[in-house]
Amino acid sequence: MSATLRVLPLGGVGEIGKNMTVVEYDGRMVIVDCGLRFPTAEMMGIDLVLPDFTYVRENIEKLEAIVITHGHEDHLGALPWVIRDLGQDKIPVVYSGQLTIAMARSKLDEHKLRDVPLEVLPIGDTVDAGPFEIERIHLTHSIPDSSGIALKTPLGTILFTGDYKFDQTPVGGAPADMARLAELGKEGVLLLCGDSTNVDRAGVSDSESIVGPHLDRVFARCPARIVVTCFASNIHRVQQVVHAAEKNGRKVALVGRSMRKNVNIGRSLGHIDIPEGMLVTPREIDQFADEKIVIISTGSQGEPLSALRRMAYRDHPQVELKSGDTVVFSATPIPGNERAVNETIDRLYHIGCEVVTARDAPIHASGHGYAEEVKMMINLTRPKYVMPVHGDYKRMLIHSQLAQAVGIPASNIFRTENGLPLEIDAEGARFGKAVQAGMIFVDGVDIGDVSDVALRDRRMLSGDGIFIIVATISEQDGSSVVPPEVLARGVPFLEGNSAFIGELREAVEDSLDGAAEQQITEVDVLQSHLHDDLAKFIYDRLKRRPMVLPVVVEV
């Protein structure tokens, strides 16, 4: 009983995305969620951003289970990368709901990780993982099969909400299980780790089911083709688009790889019902009259290679949009994607399409509860301690204020940072000693850490390009054996400027002469000498600082 409970977020606090939390008790460990972030523009060429899970690697023998709240990338997406790194044999079991497990399996398959024990933990069941008893609690969110995770320990219960809203009329499923939350609250929740995404919005979020009738109305006044774009994982949104299409006597085509994949998984598990004969393939679209078809497409965030973006730039192999068609954005841009979304919309206007967004009609509902729902979660579960998660500092701060507003003492609210554990024992709760945390990058097939010099080099290369100078000198006396080679890449406006390359070559010769006078013979020193001379010459002439890479070859 004297053991300490440690709750250690490795991602998702003080930031949005890559959610991952380690819970330890009595020398054993459970991980809740394993998500990723998408890189920002400054992370040049980086494919994905993962939480730094060094702590997990170093404590892997403690691992009892990984539990996933739901199937979104920011909660599930890092799983294959983490497992590949840790080794499949080190993972005792991954628990989640049926859809989430199916999505996890599909991801792990792509990484040829076929030996990971994935187990469906049905709502209402519990399972033991070392000193933890794990239970999933049904909640509502913008993907089916979302759940909170209760971890019962001898010290008390920790409840992770995952992402949630209290949707009283969700589509294709039950409302959030308020009764079970209340029961947990009565039994006593020691710590609530709650979603902060929409704490800054007053009131209560719209129900998902308001969207359908509005889509229906929008469709009713469309004279030609309709394209609806939404998140591919938002199966219930797709369901509502299908219903609205059916009501308007239109067939439905799914366009975009992830859209087809998610709807297929969703259909096979009964989360979406598409009536017989409603679905046509992208190739068949042209066989139907314009007013008889709805295309459901990826690309709601303006993603460069997405189906909708390609349609907007008249570059999609199956779908050619034209004046009079309507494109419906049943999603809002995630911060940072506004420009890409605006560009897509403007191309659509250029084609002559009508564009309908969530500003024009209530055709989108957020998957995250607003302030009143966050307060309700706390009131239902009556936790002793609160730890805001899934949010930047601003949202974690507002979450804390909401918790205080419903009676949680400020001293029982813990805003932490990635890597900073909360430690709870019979005496109380306090922050423990910070461990390594931060981000690691996926680049191609490899993962590695941010301190790598490569990113700095990429920024330099992208900003100003590179000059490569190859000087071939005699091993005997250091004299130039053949004229130096000068190459440039990513340096603009050189084409009509062969004079500059000539002068640069002369500068190389001058620098080599200078080195000879100073009796510089060692290759490293000579390269450094060349670098300094040429970087200065280039800056003086171009007012830019491209990378300058001298290669000295001794023959």
Q: What interhelical angle do 371-381 and 393-405 show, nearest 10?
A: 50
Whole-number Å distance between alpha carbons of 285 and 520: 72
**Between 57 and 350, whose beta carbon lies closer to a second copy?**
350
Which residues line the annotated binding site?
Answer: 45, 47, 70, 72, 74-75, 141, 163, 232-234, 364-368, 390, 443
- Rounded to a whole number of angstroms, the minimum distance from the CB of residue 229 to a second copy is 17
Q: Count the residues in the chain.
A: 555
- Phi first, then psi: give them for residue 55, nearest 5 degrees: -60, -40
Residue 460: partners with Cβ closer than 8 Å, 6 or more residues away: 545, 546, 547
Token readout for 552 is 């000295």
Whole-number Å distance between alpha carbons of 457 and 431: 38
From candidates 281, 287, 436, 462, binder to a second copy by CB under 8 A: 462
For the chain, give me the number of helices (H) and strands (E)?
A: 15, 26
- Does residue 44 belong to the site contacting a second copy (CB under 8 A)? yes
Whole-number Å distance between alpha carbons of 11 and 13: 6
What binding mask, one character per residue, do residues 308-347 give for a second copy by CB under 8 A, x or -? ---------------------------xx-xx--x--xxx
- Rounded to a whole number of angstroms, the minimum distance from the CB of residue 523 to a second copy is 10
- Rounded to a whole number of angstroms, the minimum distance from the CB of residue 59 to a second copy is 22
From candidates 216, 393, 425, 438, binder to a second copy by CB under 8 A: 393
- Rounded to a whole number of angstroms, the minimum distance from the CB of residue 347 to a second copy is 8
What binding mask, one character per residue, do residues 485-524 give for a second copy by CB under 8 A, x or -? x-x-xxxxxxx-----------------------------
- Does residue 117 belong to the site contacting a second copy (CB under 8 A)? no
**Between 189 and 402, whose beta carbon lies closer to a second copy?**
402
Helix extents (H) in 158-313: 178-187, 211-220, 235-247, 257-268, 307-312
Which residues line the annotated binding site for substrate?
Answer: 232-234, 364-368
Q: Are 165 and 140 in contact (CB under 8 A)?
A: yes
Question: What's the one-letter identity of residue 293?
Answer: I
From the list 287-295, 366-374, 466-474, 505-513, the region that binds a second copy by CB under 8 A is: 466-474
Residue 545: partners with Cβ closer than 8 Å, 6 or more residues away: 460, 463, 464, 535, 538, 539
- Does residue 461 belong to the site contacting a second copy (CB under 8 A)? yes
Residues 244-303 interacting with a second copy (rule: CB under 8 A)? none
316 an active-site residue?
A: no
510 an active-site residue?
A: no
Set 52, 195, 464, 533: catalytic member: 195
- Rounded to a whole number of angstroms, the minimum distance from the CB of residue 452 to a second copy is 5
Tokens 């004046």, residue? 323
Count of residues near a second copy by CB under 8 A: 63
Token readout for 235 is 């199966």
From the list 86-94, 178-186, 240-248, 481-489, the region that binds a second copy by CB under 8 A is: 481-489
Tokens 């004079």, residue? 499
Residue 168 has a CB neighbour count (10 Å cut-off) of 12
Whole-number Å distance between alpha carbons of 420 and 14: 11
Question: What's the one-letter identity of residue 506?
Answer: E
**Between 3 and 454, whose beta carbon lies closer to a second copy?**
454
Burial class of 409 by CB neighbour count within 10 A (0 to 12, 13 to 18, 19+): exposed
Catalytic residues: 195, 368
Binding interface with a second copy (CB under 8 A): 14, 40-41, 44-45, 335-336, 338-339, 342, 345-347, 349-350, 355, 392-394, 397, 441, 443-448, 452-455, 457-459, 461-466, 468, 470, 472, 481-482, 485, 487, 489-495, 542-544, 547, 549, 551, 553-555
